[in-house]
Amino acid sequence: MLKLELLQAIGSSYYLSGKLSVGVYLNEANRTAVLIDSGPNAGIAKALDRLLRNMGYRVSAIINTHAHVQQYGGNHYLQENYPDLRVYSSELSAPFIQYPWLSHSYGAAETLLLEEEKVKRQVVVTDIISYEDGAIQIDGATFAIVTLPGHSPDMIGVITPDNILYGSDALFGKQTLLRQKLLYYSDIKGARATFNKLSASAVSSYVFNHGGYCTDISELVHDHLERLEQCLQDVEAIIRANAMTYEQIVKEVLLHYEIEDNSTAYMAISSIVRALLSELKRTKKIDCFVEKGQLVIEQSNVAPRTI
Ligand SMILES: [Zn+2]
């Protein structure tokens, strides 16, 4: 197994090495650690906890940035090992972190691919953060909360006392951009606004879940904007060729980007396509209607036609 390390960003602000840069703020005054997300599973949370204990710290709080399992998968392990642990999340994320099966109720047919949860692990969110920019105090340290919608509607970022913005999944690192053509955003308009907000933020540097530490995000933001625009154009071109159903569009996108057949990729791409279609609809590039029991999507300003 890959040996995980705690990497220092600035001052008391750290992040975990490896695939996901879990955020850590070490409060030296009382030897407590505040985590920004808890990692994707109990194994990572356990490894991180061991690192912290070896350094003489105990975990006192987790701030969950949004309700994706990669961010809250370690909560259960830590909550079992620290009975007085505080778990913070936005008011929108809290129910999905506490009851992950709720997300099965949303989305389209692709949710049929989800396995029924065999073990319902109880995770408790102890502190709700209202969905607005503000500040919270934990163990005497002040953390600024910034709303970052786009990747998911409930996402927040956290600025530590070292003036570093932990931006969660608002931007992806260069390696991810090279590996993935399609980026996971549920709200394209929100994502663009968040990119601007991140760029305008008066912080010294950033840490992103997929990408780690960086001091200058201007090139990254430019690449994200360009990538989103390209994806919108690709989907629009698919629809321009033929009016088609949502599932046909998902299929064409999977083929266009040469994405392999598996249920995880299918569900992720389905969500991404839905977001891209919503943006094309919002900007009046496409229309949709129901015909013969099918949801048909077509380019705007053309006479309805049968698929
Ligand atoms: Zn996410």
Q: How do residues 138-158 score in pLDDT, each as one tens digit?
A: 999 999 999 999 999 899 999
- Across the range 269-288, mean pLDDT stands at 95
> What is the rounded distance in angstroms from the CA atom of residue 273 to the CA atom of residue 246?
8
- Across the range 9-19, mean pLDDT stands at 96
- Across the range 53-81, mean pLDDT stands at 96
Same domain, 47 and 156: yes
- Across the range 74-82, mean pLDDT stands at 96
Q: What local confidence, expressed as pLDDT, does residue 99 receive?
A: 86
> What is the rounded distance in angstroms from the CA atom of residue 162 to the CA atom of residue 51?
21
Q: What local confidence, expressed as pLDDT, does residue 303 receive?
A: 53
The CA 185 to ligand 1 mean position distance, Å, reads 9
Residue 1 pLDDT > 70: no
What six digits make up the tokens of 214?
Answer: 């960086």
The domain of 130 spans: 6-216
The CA 38 to ligand 1 mean position distance, Å, reads 13
- In tens, the pLDDT along 170-200 reads 999 999 999 989 999 999 999 999 999 999 9
Q: Which of 29-43, 59-73, 116-130 has the lowest mean pLDDT?
A: 116-130
**Listing from the earlier edge strand, what are the strands of the sheet with 294-299?**
244-245, 294-299, 286-291
Same domain, 164 and 33: yes
Contact 130, 93 (CB under 8 A): no
The CA 27 to ligand 1 mean position distance, Å, reads 27
CATH number assigned to the domain comprising residue 275: 1.10.10.10
Residue 224 in any domain: the answer is no
State percent of the chain over pLDDT 90.
Answer: 83
Long-range pairs for 100-105 at CB < 8 Å and ≥24 separation? 100/67, 100/69, 103/67
Residue 228 in any domain: the answer is no
The CA 92 to ligand 1 mean position distance, Å, reads 14
Residue 222 in any domain: the answer is no
The CA 113 to ligand 1 mean position distance, Å, reads 19
Overall pTM surpassing 0.85 (yes/no): yes
The CA 173 to ligand 1 mean position distance, Å, reads 14
Last residue of a domain, one of 161, 183, 216: 216
Q: What local confidence, expressed as pLDDT, does residue 100 receive?
A: 80
DSSP state, residue 253: H
Q: Which amino acid is at 120?
A: K
- In tens, the pLDDT along 235-262 reads 999 999 889 999 999 999 999 999 999 9
The CA 166 to ligand 1 mean position distance, Å, reads 13
Q: pLDDT-based confidence at 95, cuts 50/70/90? A: very high
Same domain, 20 and 99: yes
Same domain, 108 and 19: yes
Last residue of a domain, one of 181, 216, 251: 216
Residue 118 pLDDT > 60: no
The CA 71 to ligand 1 mean position distance, Å, reads 7
The CA 67 to ligand 1 mean position distance, Å, reads 7
Same domain, 208 and 289: no
The CA 29 to ligand 1 mean position distance, Å, reads 32
Average pLDDT, the chain: 92
